[in-house]
Each structure stands twice: as structure tokens, then as C-alpha cells.
């Protein structure tokens, strides 16, 4: 589907962001690992979390859905059935990487497959530690899905220092660790999103800036009902839109505010954005609040590697916001973006090029010379079938002076199925 986007004279309204994708995945996985019935309220309608649901159904977990509520009949750590068919993770890296940890831990033999994009993303980072824990993994070219997983012997606990700051890798190893008699320890020097350790209430030791997170069979999978907060990474597109548009006021009620996810909020504020947070509260283990953003003049900013993991999914839309800041902004230490649903540095650079921006692409980032007067050229933007690229191009198009088109725009359904309707709502 090609989506035409008209310039917006103003951006005004209230948008409840869609349910958080990362927490939706984990709630299904942890409810399945718990022996007993759990409910999940405000479950995501997006395609990625539904890949997780269908994989767990194939593993013998009964999951009922009534509107946005799931009821999961958890089978416990030792109750999964060997699936009859390959498990299809679709486009979802979180499904493939976290599920691999659970399967290796549980000793379930099966094959994980994914779509073309997921089959081109490296799995080496999870294969290495899982093999050290006793799993046998066959991968295409030793690196890519399909992944055939088995564990012939018993699970070997691991002390693992994360070579890259990745929540997917951290979670994969910790989930495998849940099946070991002795603790598995993951050493994290640069924080990444902490939903797994929060929701499972795992033991954490702090030594300076380093966190050592442990998991073992002794950890009881908590009995809980989950309420999924609004996805900060989806709200980020409207936060940016509100900050860069001179006539904007957007309210984002019930947005997740987990501090390991919200670096983009701090960054926008440092750039001078006009952002208010009200009604801060807890939704289960996760903080949420109501955010309001209004148009403001933006200053340029430099983002380097330490900040990258806590805004990794927001970097494409941050690059768009930087176009409207008064001067030169930089993103560096972000080579990980080249390993997402598409090479996001390359895809963002193409958007900037088509919009007529003044920028330089580096191996690990971007330098962008912005201006509050920047008016993007109307363009036909390629989404590369990547939801966050499509949404970044959509927001940028609102600031042009004649219509633009986002190609392959249906891919927003991966994380935010109502994105184009919400965009329309704000411009009316």
C-alpha cells in the first residue's frame, strides 16, 4: 500500500499510543512459563506480538483472545510440547531471540523461521552463548534463520558478559538460565531495556555502573495479571511531530515511561522541546504517565554510544527531529541500527536525501545540519518494509509544502496498526 501524506496546517489531538510491543511479547512468554491462568489486558493488535502468540500456541499453550484481553493457560517450564511444525517468528527479532532462549532452556527440539527481513538478521549473538549453555543450533551460514535448536545434554549455567548492549540478547540468556539448577549470570555494563528482569523480578547485583542479573530454576515465575502500557517507541513519532511542528499540541495518555526506554524524551527536552508529563503512575511493574507536547524551537544535539541503547528504536525519528534544530546535530556509535528490520542508517539517509536535507552518513551514525525553516521536498519515500522507517517518513511528510507518498506503508502494522488513522486524526 502506498500512503499519500498531505502537509499539516496544525497537529492537534489526543492519541492513546498502541500497547507496548516489547512488554506484549514478554507478557505472553512469562504467562506461558507460569503454571496457571494469567490475563493480559490491553494486548497489542500488532503483527509482531501475534507472532509470539502463535509460536506459543504451537508449543501447546492455550491462549484465548477477547478483544484486547488475552487469557493464557500457562504450562510451566516443563510443560511445552514438541511442535509439529516450524515456529514462524514473522518479522519479529524479539520473538526469535527470546524464544530461542526458552527453547534451548526447555530442551525442545524445533526450527524457528522468519520472513525475509528476519532471515537476514544475525543470530550469531544468541547462538554463541546458547551453545555454551549446551544447546545445539544449526543456522543458515552459521548465522541466520532458519534456526534448528536442540539440547542433547543438561543445561549448563553461564556467566556471560554482554558483548553488545542488547536487551534481546540479555533476555535470551536469562530465559535459558531459568531452566538451570545453578544460576546463570548476565553482566551488563551499558543499560538496555529492563522489562525482562522487572517482570520476572530477577535478582540484580550492582557494582558501580555494572549490573549482574541472575536467573535459575529457583526463580518462581510470578503469578500476575498484566496490563500493557502504551508504547513509548510508538508515542515517540508524535512526540517528534509535536516538537517540530509550529502549530502542534498532542496529548499521549497512558504512555510507558520505563527509564530504560525514555532517553528520547530527555533528548527532546535537551533540544528545547515543550513537553509536560502528568499523572505518573504504575501499570503493574512498569511506570506510565500522560505526556503532552507542543511545538517549540529546537537546538541541535550530539548523541553518542552510551545513550544509543536507550533510544535505539527512536533514532530514525530523532534524525527527522534534528532536521528542524538550529545547527549541526550528530548521532554516533549507532552501527547497531544497520542490523534492525532493515539497515536503518542507510534507510534514514535515503529519506534525508529525498527530502533535500544537508547531512552526512557515517558507518556508525549521521551528521545533520538542520534549520527551523527547513521544508522537506515532497517525495516518494521507500519504507523498505520497516515500520519505523515508514512512520519516520510519514511524520516528515507532514512538514512538507505539498503531498508526499510513503511506499509499502502497510508495514506500520508490525508495531502500530492504526498509525495512518492516528496521523489523519491529528491533522483534522
Contacts of 50 (CB under 8 A, 6+ apart): 44, 90
Decide if residue 185 touches ligand S3P (CB under 6 A). Answer: no
Q: Which of these, 181, 218, 179, 213, lies nearest to 196 by C-alpha position?
A: 213
Of the residues 27, 42, 91, 94, which one makes contact with ligand S3P according to CB under 6 A: 94
Decide if residue 194 touches ligand S3P (CB under 6 A). Answer: no
Q: Which of these, 21, 100, 19, 18, lies nearest to 55 by C-alpha position?
A: 100
> Residue 171 or residue 184: which is nearer to ligand S3P going by CB?
171
Residue 100 CB, nearest approach to ligand S3P (Å): 13
In terms of DSSP H, where are the helices of 228-293?
232-244, 263-270
Of the residues 42, 58, 168, 310, which one makes contact with ligand S3P according to CB under 6 A: 168
Residue numbers 137-166 binding ligand S3P by CB under 6 A: 166
> Residue 168 or residue 383: which is nearer to ligand S3P going by CB?
168
Half-sphere exposure of 304 (CA within 13 A, CB side): 0
Residue 152 CB, nearest approach to ligand S3P (Å): 28
* Site pattern 261..290 for ligand S3P (x: CB under 6 A): ------------------------------
Q: Which of these, 7, 5, 6, 8, lies nearest to 249 by C-alpha position?
A: 8
Q: Which of these, 32, 332, 311, lies nearest to 167 by C-alpha position?
A: 311
Q: Which of these, 418, 408, 405, 414, lies nearest to 387 by C-alpha position?
A: 414
* Nearest residue (beta carbon) to ligand S3P: 22
Of the residues 5, 186, 312, 399, which one makes contact with ligand S3P according to CB under 6 A: 312
> Residue 52 or residue 427: which is nearer to ligand S3P going by CB?
52
Classified as helix, coil or strand, 150 is: strand
Decide if residue 227 touches ligand S3P (CB under 6 A). Answer: no
Of the residues 88, 194, 286, 313, which one makes contact with ligand S3P according to CB under 6 A: 313
The side-by-side arrangement of strands in the sheet containing 327-331 is: 302-303, 327-331, 365-370, 358-362
Element (H, E) at 38: strand 35-41
Angle, vertex CA 169, rays to CA 362 and CA 89, nearest 5: 95
> Residue 171 or residue 227: which is nearer to ligand S3P going by CB?
171
Decide if residue 350 touches ligand S3P (CB under 6 A). Answer: no
Decide if residue 329 touches ligand S3P (CB under 6 A). Answer: no
DSSP 196-234: HHHHHT-EEEEETTEEEEEE-TTS------EEPPB-HHH
Active-site entry in 48, 219, 313, 422: 313
DSSP 152-200: -SPPPP-EEE-SS--HHHHHHHHHHHTT-SSPEEEEESS----HHHHHH
Decide if residue 102 touches ligand S3P (CB under 6 A). Answer: no
Of the residues 22, 44, 184, 262, which one makes contact with ligand S3P according to CB under 6 A: 22
Other C-beta atoms within 10 Å of 87: how many? Answer: 27
Decide if residue 193 touches ligand S3P (CB under 6 A). Answer: yes
Angle, vertex CA 273, rays to CA 279 and CA 295, nearest 5: 95
> Residue 77 or residue 193: which is nearer to ligand S3P going by CB?
193
Q: Please indicate whether residue 422 is annotated as part of the active site.
A: no
Decide if residue 167 touches ligand S3P (CB under 6 A). Answer: yes
> Residue 34 or residue 195: which is nearer to ligand S3P going by CB?
195
Residue 146 CB, nearest approach to ligand S3P (Å): 20
Number of residues that bind ligand S3P (CB under 6 A): 11
Residue 161 CB, nearest approach to ligand S3P (Å): 16
> Residue 190 or residue 425: which is nearer to ligand S3P going by CB?
190
Burial 39-54 (b: 16+ CB within 10 A, else e): bbbbbbbbbbbbbbbe
> Residue 174 or residue 349: which is nearer to ligand S3P going by CB?
174
Q: Which of these, 99, 89, 127, lies nearest to 33 by C-alpha position?
A: 99
Q: Which residues are catalytic?
A: 313
Binding positions for ligand S3P, rule: CB under 6 A: 22, 94, 166-168, 171, 192-193, 312-313, 336
Amino acid at each position: 500500500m502506498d500512503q499519500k501524506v498531505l502537509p499539516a496546517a496544525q497537529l492537534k489531538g489526543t492519541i492513546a499510543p498502541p500497547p507496548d510491543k516489547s512488554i506484549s511479547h514478554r507478557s505472553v512468554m512469562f504467562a506461558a512459563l507460569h503454571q496457571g491462568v494469567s490475563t493480559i489486558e490491553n494486548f497489542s493488535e500488532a503483527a509482531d506480538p501475534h507472532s509470539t502468540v502463535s509460536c506459543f500456541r504451537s508449543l501447546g499453550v492455550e491462549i484465548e483472545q477477547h478483544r484486547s484481553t488475552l487469557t493464557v493457560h500457562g504450562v510451566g517450564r516443563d510443560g511445552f510440547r514438541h511442535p509439529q511444525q516450524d515456529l514462524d517468528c514473522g518479522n519479529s527479532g524479539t520473538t526469535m531471540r527470546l524464544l530461542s532462549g526458552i527453547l534451548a532452556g526447555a530442551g525442545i527440539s524445533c526450527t524457528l523461521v522468519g520472513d525475509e527481513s528476519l532471515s537476514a538478521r544475525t543470530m550469531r549473538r544468541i547462538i554463541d552463548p546458547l551453545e555454551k549453555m549446551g544447546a545445539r543450533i544449526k543456522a543458515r551460514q552459521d548465522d541466520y534463520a532458519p534456526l534448528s535448536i536442540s539440547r542433547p545434554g543438561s543445561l549448563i549455567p553461564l556467566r556471560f558478559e554482554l558483548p553488545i548492549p542488547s536487551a534481546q540478547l540479555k533476555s535470551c540468556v536469562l530465559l535459558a538460565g531459568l531452566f538451570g539448577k545453578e544460576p546463570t549470570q548476565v553482566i551488563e555494563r551499558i543499560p538496555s531495556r529492563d522489562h525482562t528482569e522487572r517482570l520476572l523480578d530477577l535478582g540484580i547485583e550492582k557494582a558501580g555502573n555494572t549490573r549482574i542479573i541472575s536467573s535459575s530454576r529457583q526463580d518462581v515465575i510470578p503469578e500476575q495479571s498484566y496490563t500493557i502500557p502504551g508504547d513509548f517507541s510508538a508515542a515517540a513519532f508524535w512526540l517528534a511531530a509535536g516538537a517540530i511542528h509550529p502549530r502542534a499540541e498532542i496529548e499521549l495518555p497512558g504512555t510507558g515511561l520505563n527509564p530504560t526506554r525514555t532517553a528520547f524524551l530527555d533528548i527532546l527536552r535537551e533540544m528545547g522541546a515543550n513537553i509536560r508529563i502528568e499523572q505518573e503512575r504504575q501499570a503493574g511493574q512498569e511506570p506510565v504517565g500522560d505526556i503532552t507536547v507542543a511545538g517549540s524551537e529546537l537546538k541541535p544535539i550530539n548523541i553518542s554510544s552510551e545513550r544509543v541503547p536507550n533510544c535505539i528504536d527512536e533514532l530514525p525519528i530523532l534524525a527527522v527531529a534534528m532536521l528542524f534544530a538550529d545547527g549541526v546535530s550528530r548521532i554516533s556509535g549507532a552501527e547497531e541500527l544497520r542490523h534492525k528490520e532493515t539497515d536503518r542508517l542507510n534507510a534514514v539517509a535515503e529519506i534525508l536525501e529525498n527530502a533535500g536535507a544537508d547531512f552526512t552518513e557515517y558507518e556508525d551514525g549521521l551528521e545533520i545540519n538542520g534549520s527551523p525553516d527547513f521544508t522537506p521536498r515532497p517525495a516518494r519515500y521507500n519504507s523498505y518494509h520497516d515500520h519505523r522507517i515508514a512512520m519516520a517518513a510519514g511524520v516528515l511528510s507532514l512538514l512538507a509544502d505539498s503531498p508526499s507518498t510513503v511506499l509499502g506503508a502497510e508495514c506500520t502494522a508490525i508495531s502500530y496498526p492504526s498509525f495512518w488513522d492516528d496521523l489523519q486524526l491529528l491533522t483534522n
